[in-house]
């Protein structure tokens, strides 16, 4: 899977899920919508039993040290439970995992986690504070070459430990005063550090896990989660991974007996998994964009259709660092000159929701509908006026960059056509493969670009710091506003949720509502089909994974 | 033969390094900016921190010991990865070639012996159809009929034992079977008109003996050449069939590896492919000698 995320300079954890999906061959059911249609909760006592068959691509890793893409982490999160968990509620609050309680000191530089006693790994070994220190160190050490250990980079001592070659063997910032207390000291205050720990890289590992190159553990990780690798089996590469319920799990035990991950090749995977679903060989599938209407028509009436708002955002990335778009009016002109809704209907079969804000609806009370104001509304006259004010004269040549391996041609063609018709611009399309596209964006070799972003921890800070902070390497538009930078730094150390919410909202009002640093286009909505004759209680969580912990036989 | 392999490996190695892009960034999570330390660790792990000639020498040294290196993406030994896939590709290739031989040769003989009969026309028409319709369509049609509508055979994957191989083998063999039967019909028709066949009949041999012993043996050589090359190709993996049926073979491995710039796998597959091609050609050449005494070395 392809995948992009934060650069290490910004202390945040975010992955560009929408881009990742798009780059995987047109799997781009982005945008957002209303309610989650297919989610049903079974009434009364849920039935036990059944093996849920779910298609995935061949993971890069299911060992938590490098569970770096959606495929692998879909498996890893079933096998491991970290200190905290997140149930996807819009309050964005973490729930207890192995930690019962946790708190931070006043400036959020030191975090103390109090662990439950008596929770066990699948092999019977007790999970204690050292299990976490072991797991985090194993992932962070330079020789492991983990690509997700940056989630732990705020902890003191990460630098020397992660160096190549490592100049330290341990985190100086981690300690276990007693087996059930874990203390983490950070280099700088972060009042949302606990949220970063939902990533599977922050899992505990048992004492026999060995280092990152222990193939036995790589192929059949021994975790502490609600499911375990089916005894006697291991990851059958390119074929399947079989899990069974862990009956000794300390938390809510799943209803289903097991999960079978059926592995599909990346080539034509979307079509293949959907066909396998129609043939009854898997219980769940994504939907190829071309079949979206047909799938909705067939499966929605049956209650087999899942529509789920996801935190991701699609946007028009604008190069703030050079003319003509170093002028806010010029940015607003292009944003108002594109007809989001017409494109949604024409190109995406109405499967998206046009954005009116940057921070998306799944962020609950952080969501400020309409904060983008007129700038996100299609209005040719206002666009022309803004263009005039911003010096975006007819005939101006601009370069529109996009990745040409994600099926985005219809979108960028529509943008080009609308910008040329409405503002008289000359739009040059620059489509290259994903990796190269990101390099171009890095270099600032574009005027506007198609972009998408999401976060893998439940905080809007996963949007604001990487995309709006002037020192962030993910801020390809090079938006820079000292006031926003000051507020971003402030929000990091605000312990009170209410204070932090106020600050983040203020940031969005300035950077989007006033400056239009980038132009939000669509909220991301994910769609799936599942076998509702057999299963109930299934939806998608915040991370776009099926909620197998609550699913049950009908 | 070693020379061919050596030449191929040099060309390939150089090509992979001329291709623009950054295999570490691409393979390890496309586009994500790696922190310098992780990048350094990975470059060291895969010897990418050394100059190209040194990398090549290192590669040859490992190759001589049968070690194809480690996949950038999956961090697993390429030998292990290819071993799984080779077994699958070989099984599919054998199943397909058996179908080609059985159906293709028989149909060709029948068409040649009963020229211009109903059977001959049937063979001609059905082979035209098989050659004309793309493999993808044949595969999807077979899936629709036998997996989705009738539910007799699995749609995809390899977890249903021997039943899993039937549809992919049929799909894979379709076009080549048609070609084999046409070739067989052509050469056989020609041989049937030859003087020695008339002589054989004149000697009073039965039709069966004439066809199976004299005509078949003399007309099968071009078919055998074709089958040899076809088998070599099949062993190199069949991308479309593997894709349609989610068959974990070499073809898929190669395409996936090229897309993610997982160079050790690309090198491994191509080195293997060249070796197979060279070997199969050798085997076919030796087989000629058995079939045609004139080719035997004095």
Tokens of A25: 């061959």
What phi, psi does A199 have (nearest 5°)?
-65, 140
List A residues 101-160 in contact with B (Cβ-Cβ < 8 A): 142-147, 149-150
Instruction: Collect all residues of chain A within an 8 Å Cβ-Cβ radius of residue B158.
Output: 239
Closest CA to B157 of A203, A263, A388, A211: A263
Q: Hey, is the C-beta of A369 within 8 angstroms of any chain B C-beta?
A: no
Cβ(B112)–Cβ(B190) below 8 Å? no
* Chain A contact probe: residue of B33, B152, B238 with most A CBs at under 10 A: B33
Cβ(A548)–Cβ(A252) below 8 Å? no
Q: Hey, is the C-beta of A5 within 8 angstroms of any chain B C-beta?
A: yes
- The pairing of strands A353-354 and A552-553 is unpaired
Bond prior to A165 in cis (omega within 30° of 0) = yes
Closest CA to B250 of B261, B238, B262, B263: B238
Condensed to tens digits (0 to 9), the pLDDT of residues B28-46 reads 444 456 677 888 888 888 8
B29: nearest CB among A8, A68, A266: A68
A454 CB neighbour count, 10 Å cutoff: 27
Is ipTM beyond 0.85?
A: no
**Inter-chain contact A272–B35, Cβ cutoff 8 Å?**
no
SS3 B132: helix
Cβ(A98)–Cβ(A182) below 8 Å? no
Cβ(A340)–Cβ(A521) below 8 Å? yes
For residues A346 and A335, give the distance between their C-alpha atoms in angstroms, rounded to a whole number.
18
Burial of A374 (0-12, 13-18, 19+ CB in 10 A): middle
Q: What's this model's pTM, rounded to 2 decimal places?
A: 0.83
Residue written as token pair 């479309």: B240
- Residue pLDDT tens, chain A, 554 long: 333 333 333 333 333 333 333 333 223 333 333 333 334 444 467 889 999 999 998 888 999 999 888 888 999 999 999 999 998 777 888 999 999 999 999 999 999 999 999 999 999 999 999 999 999 999 999 999 898 898 899 999 999 999 988 999 999 999 999 999 999 999 999 999 999 999 999 999 999 999 999 999 999 999 999 999 999 999 999 889 999 999 999 999 999 999 999 998 877 788 889 989 988 889 999 998 778 888 999 999 999 999 998 999 999 999 999 999 999 999 999 999 999 999 998 888 888 899 999 999 999 999 999 999 999 999 999 999 999 999 999 999 999 999 887 778 899 999 999 999 999 999 999 998 777 788 788 889 999 999 988 887 899 998 999 899 998 878 999 999 999 999 999 999 999 999 999 999 999 999 999 999 999 999 998 999 999 999 999 999 988 899 998 899 98
Instruction: Collect all residues of chain B within an 8 Å Cβ-Cβ radius of residue A268.
Output: 243-244
Tokens of B124: 């001609």
Helices within chain B (DSSP H only): 2-18, 23-27, 36-45, 52-64, 78-99, 106-113, 118-132, 135-142, 163-192, 195-202, 207-209, 216-235, 239-244, 250-259, 263-291
* Chain A contact probe: residue of B156, B238, B240, B257 with most A CBs at under 10 A: B156
Residue written as token pair 């002109």: A333
Taking the CA of residue A7 and the nearest CA in chain B, the distance in Å comes to: 6
B159: nearest CB among A150, A240, A439: A240
Residue written as token pair 């730094």: A489
- The pairing of strands A284-285 and A426-432 is unpaired
**Inter-chain contact A435–B37, Cβ cutoff 8 Å?**
no
| DSSP state at residue A122 | T
Burial of B286 (0-12, 13-18, 19+ CB in 10 A): exposed
What phi, psi does A536 have (nearest 5°)?
-145, 170
Closest CA to A201 of A49, A386, A76, A101: A76
Tokens of B152: 């007799």
């Amino acid at each position: 899977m392809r995948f992009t995320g934060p650069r290490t300079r910004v202390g945040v954890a975010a992955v560009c899920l929408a881009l990742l999906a798009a780059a995987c061959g047109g799997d781009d059911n982005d945008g957002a919508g209303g309610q989650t249609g297919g989610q049903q909760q079974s009434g009364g006592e849920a039935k036990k039993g059944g093996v849920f068959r779910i298609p995935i691509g061949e993971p890069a890793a299911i060992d938590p040290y490098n569970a770096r893409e959606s495929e692998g982490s879909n498996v890893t999160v079933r096998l491991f439970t970290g200190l905290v968990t997140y149930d996807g509620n819009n309050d964005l609050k973490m729930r207890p995992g192995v930690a019962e309680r946790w708190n931070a000191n006043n400036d959020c530089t030191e975090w103390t986690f109090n662990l439950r006693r008596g929770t066990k790994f699948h092999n019977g070994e007790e999970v204690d504070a050292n299990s976490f220190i072991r797991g985090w160190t194993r992932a962070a050490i330079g020789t492991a070459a983990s690509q997700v250990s940056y989630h732990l980079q705020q902890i003191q001592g990460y630098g020397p430990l992660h160096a190549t070659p490592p100049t330290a063997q341990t985190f100086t910032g981690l300690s276990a005063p007693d087996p059930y207390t874990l203390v983490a000291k950070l280099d700088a205050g972060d009042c949302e550090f606990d949220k970063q720990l939902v990533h599977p890289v922050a899992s505990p590992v048992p004492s026999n896990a060995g280092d990152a190159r222990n193939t036995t553990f790589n192929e059949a990780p021994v975790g502490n989660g609600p499911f375990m690798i089916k005894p006697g089996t291991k990851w059958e590469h390119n074929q399947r991974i079989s899990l069974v319920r862990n009956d000794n799990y300390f938390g809510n035990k799943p209803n289903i007996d097991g999960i079978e991950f059926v592995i599909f090749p990346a080539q034509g995977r979307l079509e293949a998994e959907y066909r396998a679903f129609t043939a009854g060989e898997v219980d769940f599938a994504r939907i190829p964009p071309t079949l979206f209407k047909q799938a909705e028509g067939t499966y929605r009436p049956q209650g087999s259709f899942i529509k789920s708002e996801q935190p991701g955002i699609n946007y028009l990335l604008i190069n703030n660092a050079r003319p003509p778009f170093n002028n806010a009016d010029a940015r607003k002109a292009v944003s108002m000159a594109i007809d989001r809704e017409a494109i949604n209907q024409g190109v995406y079969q109405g499967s998206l929701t046009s954005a009116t804000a940057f921070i998306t609806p799944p962020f609950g009370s952080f969501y400020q509908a309409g904060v983008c104001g007129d700038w996100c509304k299609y209005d040719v006259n206002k666009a022309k006026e803004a263009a005039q004010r911003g010096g975006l004269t007819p005939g101006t040549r601009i370069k529109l960059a996009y990745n040409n391996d994600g099926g985005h041609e219809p979108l960028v063609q529509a943008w080009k056509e609308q910008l040329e018709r409405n503002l008289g611009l000359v739009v040059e399309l620059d489509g290259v493969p994903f990796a190269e596209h990101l390099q171009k964006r890095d270099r600032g070799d574009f005027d506007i670009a198609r972009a998408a972003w999401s976060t893998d921890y439940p905080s809007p800070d996963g949007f604001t710091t990487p995309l709006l902070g002037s020192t962030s390497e993910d801020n390809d538009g090079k938006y820079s506003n000292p006031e926003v930078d000051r507020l971003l730094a402030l929000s990091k150390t605000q312990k009170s949720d209410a204070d932090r919410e106020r600050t983040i909202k203020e940031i969005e009002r300035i950077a989007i509502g006033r400056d239009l640093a980038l132009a939000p286009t669509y909220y991301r909505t994910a769609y799936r089909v599942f076998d509702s004759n057999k299963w109930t209680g299934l939806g998608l969580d915040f991370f776009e994974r099926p909620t197998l912990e609550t699913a049950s036989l009908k | 033969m070693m020379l061919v392999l050596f030449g191929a490996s040099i060309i390939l190695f150089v090509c992979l390094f001329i291709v623009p892009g950054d295999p570490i960034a691409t393979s390890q999570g496309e586009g994500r900016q790696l922190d310098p330390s992780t990048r350094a660790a990975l470059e060291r792990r895969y010897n990418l921190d050394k100059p190209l000639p040194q990398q090549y020498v290192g590669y040859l040294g490992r190759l001589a010991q049968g070690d194809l290196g480690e996949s950038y993406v999956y961090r697993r030994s390429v030998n292990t990865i290819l071993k799984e896939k080779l077994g699958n590709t070989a099984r599919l290739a054998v199943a397909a070639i058996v179908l080609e031989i059985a159906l293709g040769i028989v149909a060709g003989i029948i068409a040649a012996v009963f020229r211009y009969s109903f059977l001959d026309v049937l063979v001609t028409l059905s082979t035209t159809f098989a050659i004309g319709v793309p493999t993808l369509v044949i595969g999807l049609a077979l899936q629709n009929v036998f997996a989705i509508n009738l539910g007799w055979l699995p749609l995809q994957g390899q977890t249903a034992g021997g039943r899993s191989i039937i549809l992919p083998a049929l799909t894979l063999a379709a076009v080549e079977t048609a070609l084999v039967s046409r070739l067989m019909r052509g050469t056989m028709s020609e041989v049937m008109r030859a003087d020695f066949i008339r002589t054989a009949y004149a000697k009073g041999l039965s039709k069966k003996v004439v066809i199976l012993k004299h005509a078949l043996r003399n007309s099968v050589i071009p078919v055998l050449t074709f089958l040899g090359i076809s088998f070599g190709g099949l062993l190199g993996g069949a991308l479309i069939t593997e894709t349609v049926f989610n068959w974990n073979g070499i073809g898929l491995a190669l395409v996936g590896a090229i897309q993610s710039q997982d160079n050790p796998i690309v090198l491994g597959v191509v080195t293997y492919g060249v070796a197979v091609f060279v070997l199969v050609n050798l085997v076919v050449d030796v087989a000629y000698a058995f079939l045609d005494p004139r080719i035997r070395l004095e």
